[in-house]
Every structure is written in C-alpha cells, then in structure tokens.
Structure 1
Amino acid sequence: MGSWRRQKPKEPSGRPVPAVLPPSLRAWLGLIAALATVVVVVIGVLYAGHSRPGRVDAWLQSAVDGVGPPWRRVALAMDFLGEPAGSALLVVAAVGGCLLLRRPRAAVLSVAGAGMTVGAATLLKSLVGRTIHGDGNLSYPSGHTAFATALALTVALLATGRLGLGRTAGTLLVLAAALVAGAAMGGAQVALRAHYPTDALGGWCTALAVIPATAWLVDRTADRLVDRVADARRRKHR
C-alpha cells in the first residue's frame, strides 16, 4: 500500500529540493508573523493621520539627538543601502550568493520578499497617513527598515537551511538577524530624523509579517513546478 504522505519534490538529479522556509521553522515563524501583523495594525491605528511624535518616540529620539559626525556618517551609509541604488546592489549581491550556493528558491525570495515587503510598507503609508516634518512625507512604516529586515531574514533562512539547524537554533538565528538589521537601519533612520522610532518598529514588524508568508508561497509554487516537470518526464518515458 502506498504512503499517504506527499513525497518531497526532487531535482532532476534525484536529490530532494531544499525548501527556502525550513519545515521546522514554519510554525514558529507563522506565529511570529501573526504577532508582527497585530503590532503593525495597532501602531498604525494609534498614529493614523498624526504628524508629531508620540511620547515613546520623543523619549527615544532624545537619546540620539546631536549624534556626532562619525556616527552620522554610519547612519548615512546605512540610509544609502535602503535607497533604490543601494538596495538594488544588496539584492543583486544576495541573488548572486544564492545562485552560487545553488539555492534558486532563496534567490527568488531575495527579490520577491524584498519587493513584497517594500510594497506592503508603501501601501501602509498611504493607508495610515502619518507624516513627519509637517511637509507631507509619509513615515509609517519605515520602508528602509522593512527592506533591511526582509533581506536579513532571507539570508538567515538560507543559512538555517544550509547549516541544517533545528527549530530552536534556526528560530534564534532568524530573529537575531532580523533584530540586528532592523536595529541598525531603524536606528539610522531615527538618528537622521527621517522616521520616528515607532515607524522603524512598524517597518521591522512588516518584514516579519511578510517574509515567512512569501517564503511559503515560493516553496509551494516551486514544489508544484517540480512536480509538473517530474510528471511530464514520467509520461514521456512510458
């Protein structure tokens, strides 16, 4: 009697196709994505239509006011990596690294994940309508922070799969990568007064909400394509 379980898709060489979202992490990252979505919505509702910082924003901003030239240069460099030219360079580098490691799904996620995350952040900005500096610049959530976090999550998922990490170690690595990237880019945006701290938090959570879902869709779509190719080859050799 055949097994009721769905067979894992395989490459033409017969090797199993590595998932970009490791099965051991799906439940935890799904829960984290759900919580991140709630945070994005709650902050968006609280600051919808506002043009001034909240109490938490004002307190955190005071800690980075008057940042000196060395750190300002670092902040400007981080900011460049979130601009179109800088982000394009990062995505190309990520795609190239994924292809060198023979992880085409991760390469697709590098592009699709970053695009979906930035797209979601852009849409949320229009819906929330929060501005900064009183000149109509939409600020919530931070697209720069969302992009940096999304790319870090993609790299961390690739590393988790390559290293064969378990649920606990893999989840910790993914969250640590997201935290470091989000804090670095978010801190730079606050230091440059381009965003409020809650904007950066919203961007961070946007990436945490979008990337797991996008990774799951990449795996599901790729699995179907692999299955179709395998079925076509079996019919051809009958």
Structure 2
Amino acid sequence: MDRLAGADPEAGRARSAARAVLPPALRARLGAVAVLAALVVVVLGVLFAGHGEPGRVDRWLVAPTADSVRGPWRHVALALDFLGEPVGSVLLVVACGAVCLLRRRLRAAVLVVAGVGVTVGATTLLKQVVGRTIHGAGNLSYPSGHTAFLTTLAVMATLPAADRPGVGRAAGTALVLAASLAAGAAMGWAEVALGAHYPTDALGGWCTALAVTPATAWLVDRLADRTAVTGGGRLR
C-alpha cells in the first residue's frame, strides 16, 4: 500500500483523483451522457434490425448512392476513412499511447488501448446482433465502427483538458462533447460520403463511443486504484 495514502486516507484519495483518467467532477455528467447514448444505440438498433435499405431520415439527409463525394473532398474523405482502417487505426493508437507514456501517464496509455478495444468490440458485436446491411447482405453497417473509433480517441484526448484547474463541470463536459461531436461528424461524413454507411449508422457509432468510453475510463481508474492498494504500486 502506498505509505502516504495509508497514513492519510484523504491525501490518498486526492492523489487517486489527480491521477484519474475520468475526472471525478465529470463522472456524474458523463455517466448520464453514457446512459442516454446507450438508449439511442438500442433504439436505433431495434428500428433498423435486419434492414438493408436507408431509412426515412437517411434518405432525407443524403441520396442513397454508392459514392457521393467527388473532387478534392474525396481525398479528404479517404484520408479520414484510412484512420479507421486496421493500419491507420493501429498507427493512431500507437502514437497516442506513446505520447501518454512519454508524459508518464500510464493510466492514460492503458485507457487508449482498453478504450479502443472495448469500442471496436462493442461495434463489432452490435453489427452482428442488429444485422443491418448496406450494398448487399455481406456488408454489416450499424453502428459505424470508424465513427465510434475516432470519437473514442477524441473523448480520451479531451478528458485531461476538461480536468484542468479553472475548467468547471459544465465547461469540461461541454468540451468533451464538442470534441466528440467534431470527431464523430468528420468521420461520419466521410463514411456516408464514401457510401460505406448510412447517416444513422454514424449516429449509432458516435453514441456507442459516448456510451462505452466513460465506463471504460471509470473501470481503468477502479482497477488502477485497487492495484495500488493491494499491490503496493501506483498507476499514474
């Protein structure tokens, strides 16, 4: 056990809060966001289960074509799409993890790997359960894994900034949501423009990330704190 934490429980709790990847001040708000996001994922999954065509909202937002982006914007869409592909996503995760390790933020590095793993696993499982397809029976589309992936990284990258001194709970929550929305909208646009997903798939991917990332961060903190108490180490 950390000797200082054992001698002064309040100091120990303060140290744990300072190292937390999910800021204690934001836990309740982000927890509520996660619950609402999970409800949206479930509702959309039920509505589009087994479907192979765009819904009414999808048709209203964009024409159901195989590929609707041309010119220089296509290169932008392809670049964003690459970030969610196996090679691009691995490179991005390695880069984010390396930054965390260089800053001696081991918890954050663990969260990068765990958060991405849980998000990818969740979207993969949901695709099998929901069974929505695009461009044929073999192309499962709901929710968008690319959108969920980039949203998860945006949330994890923003959490430390949201916990800086002087940033209140409302501002911190707004910062996390704004970053997640920007990342989700960018990747969602790319996936829809390239014809890989329906707009509601992108919404489902964004909400999946918002549902699982705070929960994963909370779990990382819990396990790290328990390890510090039982194993004598500190996971910063």
The answer to whether the superposition gives a TM-score over 0.5 is yes
> Structure 1 residues 164, 88: CA separation in 2 closer, same or farther (over 3 Å shift)?
farther
Aligned to 1:236: none
Cα distance in 1 for partners of 2:44, 2:87 equals 29
Query: C-alpha displacement at 1:45, in angstroms?
Result: 0.2
| Cα 1:164/1:207, change in 2 over 3 Å | farther
| Partner residue in 2 for 1:93 | 95
Structure 1 segments unaligned to the other structure (5+ residues): 232-238
Instruction: Quote the residue 2:4 is aligned against.
Output: none
Segment drifting more, 31-40 vs 59-68: 59-68
**AA aligned opposite 2:63:** S
Residues 67-120 of structure 1: CA deviation (Å, up to 9, x unaligned): 221111100000000001000011011111112222111111111001100100
Alignment pair present for 1:8 and 2:13: yes
Q: 1:10 to 1:151 in 2, by over 3 A?
A: same
**Pair 1:56–1:21, CA change in 2 (3 A):** same
Q: Which residue of 2 aligns with 1:33?
A: 34
For 2:73 and 2:123, how far apart are their aligned partners in 1? 27
1:128-155: per-residue Cα shift (whole Å, max 9, x none)?
A: 0000012420000000001000111110
> 2 CA distance for matches of 1:191 and 1:103?
37
Within the candidate set 153, 171, 174, 1:172 is matched to 174
Partner of 1:186: 188
Q: In structure 1, what is the Cα distance between the partners aligned to 2:166 and 2:226?
A: 24
- Report if the CA contact (8 A) 2:68-2:194 is conserved: no
Equivalent of residue 105 in structure 1, options 97, 104, 107: 107
2:104 partner letter: R
**SS at 1:138's partner residue?**
coil
Q: What is the aligned partner in structure 1 of residue 77 from structure 2?
A: 75
Give, as a single letter, the amino acid of the residue that structure 1 aligns with 2:112: S
Does the 8 A contact of 1:106 with 1:158 survive in 2? Answer: no
Closer/same/farther in 2, CA of residues 148 and 203 from structure 1, 3 Å limit: same
Cα distance in 2 for residues equivalent to 1:139 and 1:158: 32
Equivalent position amino acid for 1:112 in 2: A
1:121 aligns to what SS in structure 2? Answer: helix
Structure 2 equivalent of residue 62 of structure 1: 63
Secondary structure of 1:8's counterpart equals helix
Structure 2: distance between partners of 1:28 and 1:114: 21
Match of 1:197 in 2: 199
Percent identity between the two aligned chains:
66
Q: CA RMSD in A?
A: 2.3
Measured after TM superposition, the shift of residue 218 of structure 1 is 0.2
Q: Deviation per CA, 1:49-82, whole angstroms, max 9, x where unpaired?
A: 0000001101112399742211111000000000
Shift of 1:206: 0.2
Task: Return the offset for 1:41.
Answer: 0.2
Q: Which residue of 2 aligns with 1:42?
A: 43
| Structure 2 stretches lacking a partner, 5+ long | 1-6
Secondary structure at 2:63 match in 1: helix
Determine the C-alpha separation between the residues in 2 that align with 1:229 and 1:114.
26
Q: Given the superposition, is the C-alpha separation of residues 66 and 144 from structure 1 closer, same or farther in structure 2, using an over 3 Å criterion?
A: closer
SS of the residue 2:161 aligns to? helix
SS for the counterpart of 2:214 is helix
Deviation at 1:126, TM superposition (A): 0.3
The 8 Å contact of residues 21 and 107 in structure 2, kept in 1 or not, is answered as yes
Q: Distance in 2 between matches of 1:198 and 1:163?
A: 37
CA distance in 1, matches of 2:185, 2:166: 27
Looking at structure 2, the residues matched to 107 and 164 of structure 1 have their Cα atoms a distance apart, in angstroms, of 25
Residue aligning to 1:134: 136
- Which residue type is aligned with residue 25 of structure 2? S
Letter in 2 for 1:47: F
Distance 1:63 1:57 in 2: 8
